[in-house]
Amino acid sequence: MKVIKFLLEKEFRQIFRNRSILMLIMVMPIIQLILLPLAANYEVKNINLSVVDHDHSPYSQKLISKITASGYFKLTGYDQSYKDAFHLIESDDADLILEIPNGFERNLIREDEQKLLVAVNAINGVKANLGGAYLANIIRNYNTDIRFELLPSEKFNQVPMIDITSSNWFNPFLNYRVYMVPGILAILVTMIGGFLTALNIVKEKEAGTIEQINVTPIKKHHFILGKLIPFWILGNIVFIIGLLVSWLIYGIVPVGSLTLLFGFIAIYLLAVLGLGLLISTFCDTQQQAMFIMFFFMMIFILMGGLFTSIDSMPDWAKTVTRFNPVSYLISVMRMVILKGSSLHDVLPHLGVVALFAIGLNSWAILNYKKAN
Amino acid sequence: MSETVIHAENLTKRFGDFVAANALTLEVYKGEIFGFLGANGAGKTTAMRMFCGLSIPTSGKATIAGYDVYRQTELIKKNIGYMSQKFSLYEDLTVLENIRFFGGIYGLSNAQLKSKSDELITQLGLQHEAKKLVSGLPLGWKQKLSFSVAVLHQPKIVFLDEPTGGVDPVTRRQFWDLIYDAADKGVTIFVTTHYMDEAEYCNRISIMVDGKIEALDSPGNLKKHFQVDSMHEVFYQLARGAKRGE
Ligand SMILES: Nc1ncnc2c1ncn2[C@@H]1O[C@H](COP(=O)(O)OP(=O)(O)OP(=O)(O)O)[C@@H](O)[C@H]1O
Ligand SMILES: [Mg+2]
């Protein structure tokens, strides 16, 4: 164990001597945490809506005014026919068409049932899809209002509850920043930890210093631990800085236990650093290590559930995300920070990440060759 | 004859089809200064890395300080010091920090580290540079520091791969003083060099050509055998037939 002390002493000396890198490690996440959530705002406003009202009734008017009052929609057309409205979609002037059929009011009152047609311009898919979802929500609300007005109160009980997706449930104002910040922090911690470790051993290979280490009787697991521990500490510091930034700038205070959060990050970092170390045992140059790490990071980030929802991925992609440590961190961060989930809730995630940590680090130790 | 510390029999290393070290057979005795000569690409570094447990041989047998080069590399490493051809200490650590780090890795105690570093710094005359980063040192001093780090843990054998390459004549002389000091204490020195005056300083030398050892004896006997006056001519006669080299 005394050997580890010397390894750590040396590693920290080198880290602290390289001030510019140290500054980057500390300052970069702060800047990114401030900038990225502002840019990655999924809340869509000014959705161009074209309405085709065949009914011209007080009820259809009421629906339209409810939609425009929501603040998300801009009425760009009020057309006579679906065909006219469709021209607007073709010229990209409308994102959505809402068609209210003839007899809307009558059917609603008498038959208690009515169909509306919503057409979506799929070119700007995100905007139109979200718009469609908002519109559906508004119509559902309207539906409840109407029934409340029309029906006797005992019948009101049968009205289905408005279902809101769980993310909105815990994030009631649809504040995407609250949703994004924990995810972005997860990615930052992963990138910093992964890249630093991937490049570190390779740097020693390039400089030739690893040869001088390999010719000593040092134990392989001591060497790997000597690389793991410093970056583990650094990763934790970055995470703490990140939590402070989210609190100071976004007012995000974890609903759940901080201890649980730190416990999870502690194990998660071992997994990510293990991957970095493993990559560096395979590579001879920093360029190789960089590219391989980049390959994994791209997949981790794009398939981590931050920018695209894992639920809407095809099955094969869902299977891939099961091997993506970032997806576990992002969901645990959201669970603990936004929902206040307990250890019991995140235990499955913790188990998988711990397996990654053990597997990747053992592999790194095995694959680190003192002789060739 | 005294105790054998390096024993190699038909030791061979291949890289694919290429035979970098071809059936090396040699013995080195305790306390000897053994010169390992050969033109560029002859296979000196390859052979030395096998002796140090850094490279596993393709075939043949060898024991270093009594330990097997296939199975007991970590025991070998406890008993040897190695100075690689390429400078390989930490440039971003100071002289003292490098000594402390490698001493620590070899398991020296804090007290030993303290006394060893003081001793080495004085011996090298690096008092003023002790707290400076290694990256700023002139090559000659770097090489002397590397040597000190290689003998820090009092190994039985030190392997020096071109320790004086590119070093000025005065520093070279000082370097050989360090080598003699170590040899006087009973350390076996295994050294490669391209300087023929240094070859003369060795007790025995071998000359490698294209992966094979073509001659092995004391400098005096070799000169007699080839009927020439200088080691330079011995080397020239053997090495001019070499196919490899830059
Ligand atoms: N890892 C390797 N893979 C393939 N070929 C190698 C490898 N290492 C060395 N060689 C080849 O083996 C030959 C011997 O190389 P080596 O470094 O042992 O020579 P050397 O005698 O030390 O030369 P120098 O005086 O230039 O240091 C060279 O032709 C070299 O290209
Ligand atoms: Mg060489």
The model's pLDDT over A314-334, given as tens digits with 9 standing for 90+, comes to 888 888 889 999 999 998 998
Inside any domain, residue A164: no
Chain B CB contacts of A17 below 8 Å:
92-93
pLDDT at B187 over 80: yes
pLDDT at A271 over 50: yes
The DSSP line for A50-63 is EEEESS--HHHHHH
Task: Kindly state the tokens that stand for A145.
Answer: 């209002």
The model's pLDDT over B51-76, given as tens digits with 9 standing for 90+, comes to 999 999 999 999 999 999 999 999 99
Query: Looking at the structure, do residues A252 and A344 belong to the same domain, yes or no?
Result: yes
Give the pairing type, strands A117-120 and A96-100: antiparallel
B214 burial via Cβ count (<10 Å: 0-12, 13-18, 19+): middle
Query: Looking at the structure, do residues A181 and A149 belong to the same domain, yes or no?
Result: no
Q: What is residue A126's predicted lDDT score, i.e. its pLDDT? A: 63
Give the max Cα distance, chain A: 89
Query: Residue A371 is nearest to which of B56, B78, B101, comparing CB atoms?
Result: B56
- Of the two residues B82 and A19, the one the predictor is more confident about is B82
Calculate how far, in angstroms, residue A76's C-alpha sits from the geometric centre of ligand 1. 75
Distance (Å, whole) CA B82 – CA A280: 24
List of residues 6+ apart from A83 with CB closer than 8 A? none
Distance (Å, whole) CA A236 – CA B240: 61
Contact B54 A215 (CB under 8 A): yes
CB of B165 within 6 A of ligand 1: the answer is: no
* B38, containing H or E segment: strand B33-38
Query: Looking at the structure, do residues A108 and A187 belong to the same domain, yes or no?
Result: no
Where residue B118 falls among pLDDT bands split at 50, 70, 90? very high
Domain that holds residue A271: 2-40+172-367
Please state, rounded to an integer, the average pLDDT across all residues of chain B: 92
Calculate how far, in angstroms, residue B79's C-alpha sits from the geometric centre of ligand 1. 25
Q: What is residue A124's predicted lDDT score, i.e. its pLDDT? A: 65
Inside any domain, residue A110: yes
Looking at the structure of chain A, the number of domains it has is: 2
Q: Which of A216, A219, A261, A220 is nearest to A240 (CA)?
A: A261
The model's pLDDT over A203-262, given as tens digits with 9 standing for 90+, comes to 999 999 999 999 999 999 999 999 999 999 999 999 999 999 999 988 888 989 999 999
Query: Looking at the structure, do residues A52 and A18 belong to the same domain, yes or no?
Result: no
Angle at B199 between CA B67 and CA B221, to 5 degrees: 90
Which residue's CA is the closest to the ligand 1 atom numbered 12?
B20
A–B interface: beta-carbon pairs under 8 A: 77
Summarize the confidence of residues A186-202 as an average pLDDT. Answer: 93
The model's pLDDT over A4-63, given as tens digits with 9 standing for 90+, comes to 999 999 999 999 998 888 888 888 888 988 888 777 666 667 788 888 888 888 888 888
Amino acid in position A245: V
Query: Looking at the structure, do residues A348 and A310 belong to the same domain, yes or no?
Result: yes
Q: Rounded to 5 degrees, what are φ and ψ at A79?
A: -100, 165
pLDDT at A163 over 50: no
Task: Give the residue from A99, A127, A156 where a domain finishes.
Answer: A156
Query: Looking at the structure, do residues A11 and A138 belong to the same domain, yes or no?
Result: no
Query: Cα-atom radius of gyration of chain B, to the nearest Å?
Result: 18
Inside any domain, residue A145: yes
Q: What is residue A239's predicted lDDT score, i.e. its pLDDT? A: 94
Which residue's CA is the closest to the ligand 1 atom numbered 11?
B20
Inside any domain, residue A334: yes
Residue A263 CB coordination number (10 Å): 14
CB B33 within 8 A of CB B183: yes
Calculate how far, in angstroms, residue B16's C-alpha sits from the geometric centre of ligand 1. 13
Give the pairing type, strands B80-83 and B67-68: unpaired
Distance (Å, whole) CA A357 – CA B42: 45
CATH class of B4-239: alpha beta
- Write the ipTM: 0.92
pLDDT above 70 covers a percentage of chain A that reads 87
Phi-psi region of B244 (alpha: psi -120 to 50; beta: other; left: phi over 0): beta
Task: Kindly state the tokens that stand for A202.
Answer: 């390779």
pLDDT above 90 covers a percentage of chain A that reads 43
Where residue A162 falls among pLDDT bands split at 50, 70, 90? very low
Query: Looking at the structure, do residues A260 and A113 belong to the same domain, yes or no?
Result: no
Distance (Å, whole) CA A142 – CA A136: 10
CB B36 within 8 A of CB B205: yes
Distance (Å, whole) CA A354 – CA A361: 11
To which residue do tokens 């936004």 refer?
A338
Amino acid in position A20: S
The model's pLDDT over A73-122, given as tens digits with 9 standing for 90+, comes to 888 878 778 888 888 877 778 888 888 888 877 777 666 666 777 777 76
Inside any domain, residue A166: no
Task: Kindly state the tokens that stand for A13.
Answer: 């000396």
CB of B100 within 6 A of ligand 1: the answer is: no
Query: Looking at the structure, do residues A101 and A205 belong to the same domain, yes or no?
Result: no
Query: Looking at the structure, do residues A95 and A240 belong to the same domain, yes or no?
Result: no
Q: What is residue A157's predicted lDDT score, i.e. its pLDDT? A: 47
Comparing alpha-carbon positions, the chain A residue that sits nearest to B70 is A371
Which residue's CA is the closest to the ligand 1 atom numbered 30?
B41
Contacting B with CB below 8 Å, chain A residues are 2-3, 5-7, 9-10, 13-14, 17-18, 207-218, 370-372
Q: What is residue A160's predicted lDDT score, i.e. its pLDDT? A: 39
Distance (Å, whole) CA A173 – CA A251: 14
Listed range (A65-69, A97-101, A130-134, B198-202) with the worst mean pLDDT: A130-134
Inside any domain, residue A227: yes
pLDDT at A370 over 80: yes
Distance (Å, whole) CA B63 – CA B70: 9
CB A31 within 8 A of CB A103: no
Task: Pick from A307-311, A340-344, B55-59 the range whose average pLDDT is largest.
Answer: B55-59
Listed range (A114-118, A305-309, A356-360) with the worst mean pLDDT: A114-118
Inside any domain, residue A27: yes
Distance (Å, whole) CA A349 – CA A86: 47
Summarize the confidence of residues B98-113 as an average pLDDT. Answer: 94
pLDDT at B44 over 50: yes
Report the half-sphere exposure of A329 (CA within 13 A, side-chain side).
32
Residue B20 CB coordination number (10 Å): 23
Judged by CB atoms within 8 Å, which residues 131-170 of B form the interface with A? 149
Inside any domain, residue A84: yes
Query: Looking at the structure, do residues A219 and A354 belong to the same domain, yes or no?
Result: yes
Task: Give the residue from A130, A156, A182 where a domain finishes.
Answer: A156
Query: Looking at the structure, do residues A273 and A316 belong to the same domain, yes or no?
Result: yes
Tell me the CA distances in angstroms from A164 to A70, A130, A138, A170, A324, one per residue in order: 17, 14, 12, 10, 28
Query: Looking at the structure, do residues A137 and A192 belong to the same domain, yes or no?
Result: no
Task: Give the residue from A114, A132, A156 where a domain finishes.
Answer: A156
Summarize the confidence of residues B158-173 as an average pLDDT. Answer: 93
